[in-house]
């Protein structure tokens, strides 16, 4: 449907959002077409596919998900470090935008903030209460000015 009427959901406290379950739903959706069909009324998907080069690392905004019941948008971001230096990038440093409108993440989830050479991490940003229709929405990411070089211990 071109224009979905989104339920008006009040702002939720971070503790009301089960990030672990939402990430499980997203991953299950990607792996299992039957599950995807079952949950498609609760979970919307918008492919993004934008990659940024940041301090030698590749930061890819893979997709945006919308859990309608709680009006939670989940941005799935893959960060890969092909360099020979460790990189520090926390999910909380990544700012999502559409056009010039910035959205604040209510919560973030990630495997690691420090990416060793050759390592890849998937980071999730959770936005809540914006009543955005993600269908056709083009998110952009603003990344920190430069990566902090980590001094070897």
pLDDT digits (tens, 9 = 90+) for 42-51: 999 999 999 9
pLDDT in tens, 75-131: 999 999 999 999 999 999 999 999 999 999 999 999 999 999 999 999 999 999 999
Show the tokens assigned to 25. 């739903």
Single pTM value for the model = 0.90
DSSP E strand boundaries for the chain: 43-54, 57-67, 72-80, 87-88, 95-98, 101-102, 107-110, 114-115, 120-128, 139-142, 148-149
Q: What confidence category does residue 41 fall into, taking pLDDT thresholds of 50, 70 and 90?
A: very high
Q: Residue 27: which region, alpha, beta or left (left: phi > 0; alpha: psi -120 to 50)?
A: alpha
């Amino acid at each position: 449907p071109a224009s979905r009427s989104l339920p008006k959901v009040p702002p939720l406290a971070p503790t009301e959002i089960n990030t672990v379950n939402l990430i499980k739903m997203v991953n299950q959706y990607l792996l299992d077409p039957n599950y995807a069909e079952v949950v498609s009324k609760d979970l919307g998907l918008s492919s993004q596919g934008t990659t940024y080069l940041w301090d030698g690392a590749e930061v890819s905004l893979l997709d945006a998900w919308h859990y309608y019941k709680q009006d939670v948008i989940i941005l799935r971001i893959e960060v890969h470090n092909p360099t020979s230096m460790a990189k520090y990038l926390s999910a909380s440093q990544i700012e999502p935008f559409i056009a010039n409108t910035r959205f604040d993440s209510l919560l973030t989830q990630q495997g690691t903030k420090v990416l060793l050479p050759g390592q890849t991490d998937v980071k999730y940003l959770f936005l809540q209460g914006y009543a955005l229709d993600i269908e056709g929405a083009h998110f952009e990411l603003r990344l920190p000015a430069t990566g902090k070089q980590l001094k070897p211990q």
